[in-house]
Structure 1
Amino acid sequence: MTRSAFDQITVCPGVWPSPYLLDRLRPLTRRPLLVLNGWPAPGSDAFQSIARTDALLAGWKDRLDADRLSQMPALRYLGLRATSTDRVDLRYTARCGITVMPIHGYGDVGNVEFVIEALLRHARHGGDTRTELAGKRLGLVGYGNVGAAVARVAMALGMTVAFHTPTPRPGPPDGPQWATLADVLRNADYVSFHSPAYRHVAALADLRLIAPGALVVITTLGLPAPCADFRSWQQSRTGPVVLDLCAADGLPDDLAALPGVRIHDLYAARTAESVRRAEHRIVANLEANLSLL
């Protein structure tokens, strides 16, 4: 018989739930919805309540290691308001039969628009002379859905686009072309990183191939290079590095204060539209999983 509700749905702080989402969740839980402002301290009422949790919703900032997950022995479903599962102990969830459901694509448009906006702003206001993007070379490190969409827009603006992924992926003659990391970085007027979350895909020697005055845009989760390499590189160049709050997650204060480092006080992917898309998918995943229990 199909269940009509979970026993206890708990919402972690990283979900940033809207009133709309909370209203959609309440009919799906038998016990009152538990919305956390932080991870509860042992012995607290909230700590006792999470032990009954069979459905947990979390965001990319919520750390869910084995210790925390073990505090919810009834947990059977973990829904992520995120694409990345890097902060979830997947070995634990697999061992305990916990279904983990991330969501994909909800923030792609916002990310793409942020990157293109940064390129346009730099072309128009980044130097003594207003320039055009047409005819300039864009290097993409990473080529998932967001990277490919950035490439399409950039090419529509007349840019030449090359991308790097660990495995060669030849593109069409009139489209973006795969190149080695060294070639992508050394030949670009603009560089945008779209590599996996918290993955160091470039070292100091790679970064130093980027033209000293080139604009670099980073919207990955965490820096795509070790902090020490990033520090040495940026200290020796004149070009700006634009980051959103995802890229700046965990960034040491001295790196954030380096000349040329520009941190925008926003999450590139977070728009009114992306929030609604994400929340629709969170609820749809919950309902689909409920029907299987």
Structure 2
Amino acid sequence: MKKIVICEFMDQAAVDGLKRDFIVVYDPALVDQPDLLSAELETAQAIIVRNRTQVRGDLLTCAKRLKAVGRLGVGLDNIDMAACRSRQIEVFPAHGANDAAVAEYVISSIFILFRRAFQSGPEMAAGQWPRTALMGNEIAGKVLGVIGYGAIGRKVCKMARAMGMKVAAYHPRWPGNDLGQEIEAMGFNELLATADVISLHVPLTKHTRHLMDTKAIAGMKKGAFLINTARGGVVDEKALVKALESGQLGGAAMDVFEDEPLTAARGQQFKTLSNLILTPHIAGVTMESNIRVSAVTAENIRRALAG
């Protein structure tokens, strides 16, 4: 029987389904045990990963029988695609399976950032009544700027329009003339200067690394918000911190970071920022999306190994 190694968390039902037809080594802790992971991969035909496992270098060298990589998500910056192509290893991202989860996270963040009222539990419990200080803003009529108009960016735009927001978008390579009448196409700098909130939806490449640097953030409307559910390296974290401290940015939501997991040492730079939402790369992970992503990935790997 062919062998599949799953080294990050996956829906158990999908794992059990694969076990009926394959030898499956499922241990979410393997991602943090590189020697053991490499040993398991020596006899494996497929590996299933999320974003933390680096499918490159020594790991690929050990996986001499590897035929397929299943990605529980869509980002591929943790996979050496060139090396996989050279060895004819197929890579299967779970396109579309977590779009709704990410879009809902973005919309939730917009509400939290604009209203500023949803983190006042400790003050209220302490007997304070910070009513005036927590007077925020409505989102209707505000401008959402989406950078990256792929499947997730489109879904975010649709949800935002439904709530009365104006929507503008920038994409390095426009996917045809299908923006629709309700979405305005803008250049990068124009979008930064216009939007009340920017949401990032681009992959991490040499062209997008630190796309949001000191210069770009300075070009944003003063007091605007920034939301990053794409990849941490798209935002220069030092520039972000300075902009939040100075008031150039009114707030931000960061679900992804330049180095993950975020360590206590790296986290110190964010410690005093009350206008910053930090979450552990969870935007695309809900109970529902995990089931969808896992099912799609399991089926992709099943088909790849069927031959």
The answer to whether TM tops 0.5 is yes
2:227 to 217, 221, 224: 217
1:262 paired residue among 277, 297, 307: 277
1:174-201 Cα distance to aligned partner (Å, 9 max, x none):
3211111111111111221112136322
On the 8 A contact 1:221/1:249 being kept in 2, the answer is no
Which of the pair has the greater relative contact order for Cα pairs under 8 Å at 6+ separation? 2
Structure 1 residues 188 and 247, CA gap change in structure 2 (3 angstroms)? farther
Partner residue, 2:202: 195
Q: Do the aligned partners of residues 262 and 36 (structure 1) sit closer, same or farther apart at CA in structure 2, a change above 3 Å counting?
A: closer
Q: Does 1:178 align with 2:189?
A: no
Is it true that 1:240 corresponds to 2:251 in the alignment? Answer: yes
- Count residues in correspondence: 282
Q: 1:170, 1:178 within 8 Å by CA — same for their partners in 2?
A: no
For structure 2, the 5+ residue unaligned runs are: 118-132
Residue 145 (structure 2) pairs with residue 139 (structure 1): yes
Please state how far the C-alpha of 1:144 moved relative to its aligned partner. 1.0
User: Alignment partner for residue 102 of structure 1, among 88, 93, 98?
Assistant: 93
1:22-62 deviation line (CA, Å, top 9, x unaligned): 21121221x453536225565x6x65443111111111111
Unmatched 5+ residue regions in structure 1? 1-5
Once the two structures are overlaid, the 10-residue window that deviates more, 128-137 or 144-153, is 128-137
2:305 corresponds to = 290
SS in structure 1 at match of 2:250? coil
**Superposition RMSD on alpha carbons, in Å?**
2.5
Query: Is 2:169 the counterpart of 1:163?
Result: yes
Alignment of 1:269-284 (within 5 A): 269-284=284-299
CA distance in 2, matches of 1:249, 1:239: 25
| Aligned partners of 1:55 and 1:75 also within 8 Å | yes
TM-score (normalizing by structure 1): 0.86
- Give CA-to-partner distance per residue, 1:200-231, whole Å, 9 cap, x none: 22331111122232222111121422333333
**Aligned partners of 1:215 and 1:240 also within 8 Å:** yes
Q: Which amino acid aligns with 1:184?
A: L
> Where does residue 103 of structure 2 map in the other structure?
112
CA distance in 1, matches of 2:212, 2:4: 40
* Residues 248 and 263 of structure 1: CA distance in aligned 2, closer, same or farther (over 3 Å): farther
TM-score, normalised with respect to structure 2: 0.82
Query: Residue 139 of structure 1 contacts residue 190 of structure 1 at CA under 8 Å; is this kept in 2?
Result: yes
Q: In 1, distance between residues paired with 2:281 and 2:83?
A: 33
Question: What is residue 149 of structure 1 aligned with on the other side?
Answer: 155
Rounded Cα–Cα distance in structure 2 between residues aligned with 1:115 and 1:247: 19
SS in 2 for 1:139: strand
